[in-house]
Chain A
Amino acid sequence: MARKIEHIYNLRLDVASQVNLDKPISFSFDGRVYSGYEGDSLASALIANGVRIVGRSFKYHRPRGIMSAGVEEANAIVQIGEEPYRQPNMLATKVELYDGLVARSVNAWPNAAFDLFAPLGFAKPFFVAGFYYKVFKWPSWQFWSPMVRRLAGLGTVPKQPDPDDYDYHHAHTEILIAGAGVAGLLAALKHGKSGRKVLLVEQDKDLGGALLFEKCEIDGMSALDKVAEMEAALEAMDNVTIVKRATVTGYYDDNFITISERLRNHLPPHVDAHIPRERFWHLRAGQVIVATGAIERPLVFANNDRPGIMLASALRQYANRFGVTAGKRIFIATNNDDAYRTALDMHAVGAHIVGIADVRPNPQGDLVNAVRALGITVYDGHAVVNTSGARGLKSISISKIENNVLDERQRAFNCDVLGTSGGWSPVVHLHSQSGGKLRFNEEVQAFVPREYVQQNVCIGAANGVFELVDIYSEVSEKAARLQKLKTEPIQAFWDLPKNIKKIKNSKRWVDLLHDVTASDVALAARENYISVEHFKRYTTTGMAMDQGKTSNVNALAILGQETDRKIQQVGTTKFRPPYSPVSMGAMAARSTGALFSPLRNLPMHVWHVENGAKFEDYGGWNRPAYYARSGENEEQAIEREIHNVRHHVGILDYSPLGKVMVQGPDAAAFLDYFYCNNVSNLKLNRARYGLMLNEDGNVIDDGVFTRLADDEFMATTTSGGAARFAASMEEWRQCEWPHMDVVITNITTGWGCISLQGPKARDVLLKLDIDIDLSGEEFSHMSMRSGKLAGVDVKILRTSFTGELGFEIYMPRSYANAMWELIVNAGQEFKLAPFGLEALMVMRTEKGFIHIGVDTDSSTIPDDVGFGAPARKKVVDYIGKRSLFRPASLRSDREVLVGLKAVGDAPLRAGSIILAKGHKKAPAPMDGRVTSSYSSPTMGHPVALGVLKNGQSRMGEIIKIYDLDGVREAEVVAPCFYDPEGKRLNG
């Protein structure tokens, strides 16, 4: 923060307000330092300091000032804070001031007051709605877009990661009340007294809504006192919860609600940094009461975007709540009674009301007459037609309107503030999100809720009930003592009559944030973009950050006028969540970093860490890729591990292997549905390798199934496929074969598995206390024994994915780490060493064992991997069988698994493409691909597996293989390089 505090103007009023004049604080805007008070919004403080230009418009960089006091703000968009806390695109009207707050304008350079892009405003005659669809075709949009992109966007993206935390909050309530204005408060009191669980959510820091600034008496007390009384009553109810600084942002199916709660945005970034910055609520509500109030609409006239032109209600809000005024000479333009409240209130705080232009011929409501009684001139039947003031409003001119014809004569008035009111639009966003329908209510000239489809109801201004006394009778059980005013209805007035050419061609802004004018709306109509959706997209109305909160209804009405339709015939677009923008950090909450998709650690994780494992994510498991010893690189480590398994013995933490128990009288028959090879004829304690298919005939998983008893099997799956496979079995059991008596249990994470592989594997186990006969005669390859190893009940499966003698030892996970350490110690004399997944991948490739998802893809059928004969012979109607008899499955030229022996020393690259015969370079037809490929320290030459069209009949052929670097050659061989007779694993 820099320089001294500067006072240009002081527009702070000498009236009681809700800012604390005893607590001055300083802040900066666009590099200049200003002072404000505790309780100020950034907007009220800027107004008090006479800062008129707070931003630049999106397309034309026109100077813009604060136009509202709420979430509907379309001009005062700023960036708050500094890296790494910088927050782009905040509404100055909703930013609570704190000491040291740093704010900057967006979309302006060097700042909002002096913007070098301002000359873009002169291009307005060319940059009309949709002009870019008509030009930039030559030479191409590609050529022009970098220039356009330089001008795009508002705030800038933070450069550093967000240091703050966010949370989800899950909750239920019987009644949610969105909005704590008078309607919401009354509803909360009523339902609170009924004893039901009530949640009252208010986007502001204070309860009260319009009562925070409306001068009225309720039950003989001031509005503020009444709010305090109601709040105290609610606080006293245990069943009522009040959440402030929270916005109900989304309304989803079955009354599921999201709420964005801002816990720390009103504080300097370092204060309370231990609590989350925002909380994103997931709420299920029994009933939703939408009491979200209404938003005032601006009037549309020439140059209605100058700094100083504001919503009429915002003027009195700033005066009464914050004790500031945007200017000293105020003019008011309206088509309804409500704006007269602004005249009365501003007059009361000492501002000069220059006059009021009311389009209604002879308004006689109580408020109007009260204004007249003060000697303020009401120009009835008049509208503001134009304004002047390049850097802020200086004067306005009004003309008489009769029968929708504008009088040529104009009267000018000097003023620095113009409050305009075109009526009020109920905030029906949540209702619309819930699926509810809207209707246009002529009486209040606004869209109001029509049909409810969920458990919700709109009340108060959100329901088109605007007057306090009417809200009381709508919501409250007991009447209040309130003054009943005589009012006169609003008169629709959407745009100026077009009988005067100069006015017709003037810039009458409809969507301030997206720089859309009434002429743009007319242009869209002229070009037949007359559906709401076409018009919205063509002109971009309502698609800016404010999502059209002040512009949509005006635009729809003007479109209606241009196309001779009533506004209800034009219709509305659907309101989409969120109601106001939500931080993406809050929506992600804790589901990022390690918790985005948590990795699972192995039972022996700590041991692996301590022994130099390099971890990688294999199917969601954090597994050692290899164990690096000092001085070794990855390749050397893997080579050493392979050598050790091939010559001595290796140990692998195989716990992630999918393990599913299938038990029950029908276990064998049930499993027979899931494998393309036979299960039922498997003998006790024997194991068999099998392929699982989907109903489409494609191989989706593989594994070994073992018969533990007549009625009990253990099936292994790939580590990534375990949950899916077990769930699929359950689905078939419950939905298709409920008569089968079988229980399926996924024990993958409950049981650990230690795999010992290598010629010395047996010797290592024999060093331990074991009651299982491990001899080759008694315990052959592909069989299982149960027994005790070092006093622990284990199951040992003799199997191998390496091609060596191998034992997989299964035991409850809690024993796995101790068992691992015992075996590692026992193995020392046999040179036992751990090996990782990469060594395993090399060894299984040497042996020609397929890896599902690597050597297969979603089109692989059993025939492609050598299982065609058993799969076709099997009698049972197993899953996927029928699909193997479709024409494509029976083709003779399918891509089948082959071995590939590269010509040359370097291994092929997995993912290389096999060129069709006769082709030497890309592009070319494909005959297959390399699926697995490694240097093989065992074989002394590279080994690879691949799939090749007609592969079985092409043994010995030299094929051409394409990879990024070029084309290589390889010989087609049988898919097994190492110990094809299987002597070693059977040993």
Chain B
Amino acid sequence: MQKYSTLSLVRNALTHHNGWEKAWRSPDLKSEYDAVVVGGGGHGLATAYYLAKEHGYKNIAVIEAGWLGGGNTGRNTTIVRSNYLFPQSAEFYDFSLKLFENMSRELDFNVMLRQAGLLTLLHSRHDLEVMRRSINAMHMNGIDSDWVTPNEVADMAPGINMSDDARYPIVGGILQKRGGVARHDGVAWGFARAGDSLGVDIIQMCAVTGFDIENGEVVGVQTAKGHIKTKKVAIAVAGHSGVLADMAGFRLPVSSMALQACVSEPLKPIFDAAIMSPSLGMYISQSDKGELVMGGALDAYPSYAQRGNINTLEHIIAGIVELFPNFSRIKLMRQWAGIVDIVHDSTPIIGLTPVKGMYINCGFGTGGFKATPAGGWTLAYTLANDRPHKMNEDLSLKRFETGAFIDEMGAAGIAH
């Protein structure tokens, strides 16, 4: 893999940047692979990378229907955090955050992790009690989390509505300092490039059309570019999980819905942290380009159309203007949506499927981006060992039968 560094940048500048190599190849599909990862988003690419790096797989394909990183990976609001309530989620998401913390160097690709903090705003007596549970639970789970006073909130977000008469007055906040944002495309491209250098074949514009299953065991994958023989398949397709599961003959407790995001025109940066208000139904951060990156609740019905509705968006914007009355004259520049895979308890599913040799990673709902490295890591482990790692043992499909849910609805951010 060509080294990316200041030195290589300077050296290439002298030759008008003609010396840069392809970030990844565009290989032809082979007829047999040791493992096939369906889905070339962040999770799928991370799965392939860790399969190659941690488990010694040499012959892996990532099959992507569109362009790598073109689904939710490239459509989210880029927030990373691990402020979860239950030990299982906390361990998983904090592992993910730790992988993020070393990702730029490990992948030799700057994923622009900026840990400027994730601030959750509290607006009532009840919020204070509920979030006290969260903050204490995070401490129990070994995750950093600090109580923030209203004055500190005002310092962190100039212009924020500190009025006692606000519909949702700010009575405090909790801050995960290690939370923040990372560049979503960078994560996908970094994993793609690093995986490619370890021999992973990333096959883009190649839809999976079916699976060959014999005696309950997967033996092949049918794709638009040809047939693949393989005994190991990992599925990481977020909103399209149901479609792939249907091809493999099973159902999932997953509903695909549109989650919107939007950005404003670029403005001189005025705040660093990502700010979230469950009561106001919105979250906001300011990108390194200066755009306000905003989001909120789901469009509340199943959808595979990657576009958002206007009434949901207006509610999000109203929440933002309510919180920042000085943002009213700022203009919204672009609105879009991704198709997220919603499950009952806002906890992902990573593990075995009813088909032997087939493993799945789905159900991240509105929060898959921050789990990208851990989602790939655990899926790779599960595939390589045909059993879950301790970290994703409880994140199985089985919990829907046993009822052992890990209900992170509150920690999932905005109530959906």
B404's closest neighbor in chain A, by CB?
A888
A591's closest neighbor in chain B, by CB?
B318
Are A157 and B327 interface neighbours, CB within 8 A? yes
- Of B132, B321, B329, most buried by chain A (CB within 10 Å of CB) is B329
Are B20 and A912 interface neighbours, CB within 8 A? no
Contact with B along A124-167 (1 / 0, CB 8 A): 01101001111111101110010011101111111111101010
Bound complex: CA A911 to CA B109 (Å): 41
A520's closest neighbor in chain B, by CB?
B17
Given contacts A134-B4, A157-B326, contact A88 B265 (CB under 8 A): yes
Chain B residue numbers with a CB within 8 Å of A87 are 329
Bound complex: CA A504 to CA B17 (Å): 12
Given contacts A250-B310, A576-B336, contact A526 B329 (CB under 8 A): no
Are A531 and B329 interface neighbours, CB within 8 A? no
Chain A nearest Cβ from B172, distance in angstroms: 12
B274: Cβ under 8 A from any A Cβ: no
Chain B nearest Cβ from A284, distance in angstroms: 12
A578: Cβ under 8 A from any B Cβ: yes
A145's closest neighbor in chain B, by CB?
B114
Q: Which of B140, B168, B327 is within 8 Å of A923, CB to CB?
A: B140
B300: Cβ under 8 A from any A Cβ: no
Q: Among A353-361, A594-602, A743-751, A761-769, which stretch is in contact with chain B?
A: A594-602
Bound complex: CA A911 to CA B13 (Å): 57
Chain B residue numbers with a CB within 8 Å of A922 are 136, 139-140, 142
Are B16 and A505 interface neighbours, CB within 8 A? yes
Chain B residue numbers with a CB within 8 Å of A888 are 399, 402-405
Chain B residue numbers with a CB within 8 Å of A126 are 9-10, 13
Are A913 and B133 interface neighbours, CB within 8 A? yes
Bound complex: CA A705 to CA B244 (Å): 47
A790: Cβ under 8 A from any B Cβ: no
Are A588 and B268 interface neighbours, CB within 8 A? no
Bound complex: CA A365 to CA B288 (Å): 50
Chain A nearest Cβ from B89, distance in angstroms: 13
B199: Cβ under 8 A from any A Cβ: no
A937: Cβ under 8 A from any B Cβ: no
Contact with A along B360-397 (1 / 0, CB 8 A): 00000000000000000000000000000000000000
A545's closest neighbor in chain B, by CB?
B265
- Of B18, B26, B114, B266, most buried by chain A (CB within 10 Å of CB) is B266
Chain A nearest Cβ from B195, distance in angstroms: 14
B23: Cβ under 8 A from any A Cβ: yes
Q: Which of B104, B126, B264, B403 is within 8 Å of A584, CB to CB?
A: B264
Q: Which of B114, B135, B319 is within 8 Å of A142, CB to CB?
A: B114
Chain A nearest Cβ from B137, distance in angstroms: 6
B110: Cβ under 8 A from any A Cβ: yes
A217: Cβ under 8 A from any B Cβ: no
* Interface size class, chain B: 35 or more
B53: Cβ under 8 A from any A Cβ: no
A282's closest neighbor in chain B, by CB?
B310
Contact with B along A887-912 (1 / 0, CB 8 A): 11100000000000000000001111
A249's closest neighbor in chain B, by CB?
B332
Are B269 and A153 interface neighbours, CB within 8 A? yes
Chain A residue numbers with a CB within 8 Å of B328 are 161-162, 164, 166, 583-585, 588
B269's closest neighbor in chain A, by CB?
A149
A978: Cβ under 8 A from any B Cβ: no
Given contacts A137-B104, A585-B328, contact A152 B135 (CB under 8 A): no
Q: Which of A164, A256, A913 is within 8 Å of B310, CB to CB?
A: A256
Are A142 and B269 interface neighbours, CB within 8 A? no
- Of B264, B310, B402, B407, most buried by chain A (CB within 10 Å of CB) is B310
Chain B nearest Cβ from A820, distance in angstroms: 25
Chain A residue numbers with a CB within 8 Å of B134 are 911
Bound complex: CA A162 to CA B87 (Å): 44
Chain B residue numbers with a CB within 8 Å of A534 are 67-69, 189
Are A526 and B20 interface neighbours, CB within 8 A? yes
Q: Which of A125, A148, A252, A924 is within 8 Å of B288, CB to CB?
A: A148
Q: Among A65-73, A372-380, A774-782, A853-861, which stretch is in contact with chain B?
A: A853-861
Chain A residue numbers with a CB within 8 Å of B321 are 584-585, 588, 592
A174: Cβ under 8 A from any B Cβ: no
Chain A residue numbers with a CB within 8 Å of B330 are 88, 157-158, 583-584
Q: Which of B140, B158, B320 is within 8 Å of A913, CB to CB?
A: B140
Are B114 and A887 interface neighbours, CB within 8 A? no
Given contacts A126-B10, A528-B24, contact A599 B141 (CB under 8 A): no
A86: Cβ under 8 A from any B Cβ: yes
Chain A nearest Cβ from B253, distance in angstroms: 11
Are B325 and A155 interface neighbours, CB within 8 A? no
Chain A residue numbers with a CB within 8 Å of B296 are none
Are B329 and A88 interface neighbours, CB within 8 A? yes
Are B110 and A584 interface neighbours, CB within 8 A? no
Given contacts A132-B112, A519-B16, A593-B167, contact A697 B403 (CB under 8 A): yes
Q: Which of B269-291 contact A (CB under 8 A)?
A: 269-270, 272, 280, 287-290
Q: Which of A137, A258, A617, A889 is within 8 Å of B124, CB to CB?
A: A617
Given contacts A911-B136, A963-B136, contact A523 B265 (CB under 8 A): no
Q: Which of A157, A581, A924 is within 8 Å of B159, CB to CB?
A: A157
Are B115 and A162 interface neighbours, CB within 8 A? no
Contact with A along B240-264 (1 / 0, CB 8 A): 0000000000000000000000001
Are B405 and A135 interface neighbours, CB within 8 A? no
Chain A residue numbers with a CB within 8 Å of B6 are 135
Contact with A along B311-351 (1 / 0, CB 8 A): 00111011111100111111111111000000010000000
Chain B nearest Cβ from A436, distance in angstroms: 13
Chain A nearest Cβ from B90, distance in angstroms: 9
Chain A nearest Cβ from B312, distance in angstroms: 11
Given contacts A152-B289, A154-B267, contact A128 B17 (CB under 8 A): yes
Q: Which of A77-120 contact B (CB under 8 A)?
A: 85-89
A86's closest neighbor in chain B, by CB?
B329
A929: Cβ under 8 A from any B Cβ: yes
Bound complex: CA A58 to CA B291 (Å): 13
Chain A residue numbers with a CB within 8 Å of B317 are 584, 587-588
Q: Which of B69, B110, B114, B313 is within 8 Å of A132, CB to CB?
A: B110
A533: Cβ under 8 A from any B Cβ: yes
Are B110 and A616 interface neighbours, CB within 8 A? no
Are A912 and B132 interface neighbours, CB within 8 A? yes
Q: Which of B87, B109, B267, B409 is within 8 Å of A88, CB to CB?
A: B267
Given contacts A149-B288, A924-B140, contact A537 B185 (CB under 8 A): yes
Q: Which of B135-187 contact A (CB under 8 A)?
A: 135-137, 139-142, 147, 158-159, 161, 166-168, 183, 185-186
Are A545 and B266 interface neighbours, CB within 8 A? yes
Bound complex: CA A126 to CA B140 (Å): 47
A239: Cβ under 8 A from any B Cβ: no
Chain B residue numbers with a CB within 8 Å of A519 are 16-17
A922's closest neighbor in chain B, by CB?
B139
A964: Cβ under 8 A from any B Cβ: yes
**What are 5 A-B contacts with C-beta separation under 8 Å?**
A89-B331, A141-B114, A153-B289, A582-B332, A591-B318
Other than A154-B268, A526-B20, A887-B402, give 16 A-B pairs with Cβ distance below 8 A.
A88-B330, A128-B17, A134-B5, A156-B267, A161-B328, A162-B326, A528-B23, A534-B189, A545-B265, A581-B331, A583-B330, A596-B168, A888-B404, A911-B135, A929-B133, A964-B139
Those 6 A-B pairs whose CB atoms lie nearest each other, nearest first: A153-B290, A911-B132, A585-B328, A162-B328, A581-B331, A161-B325
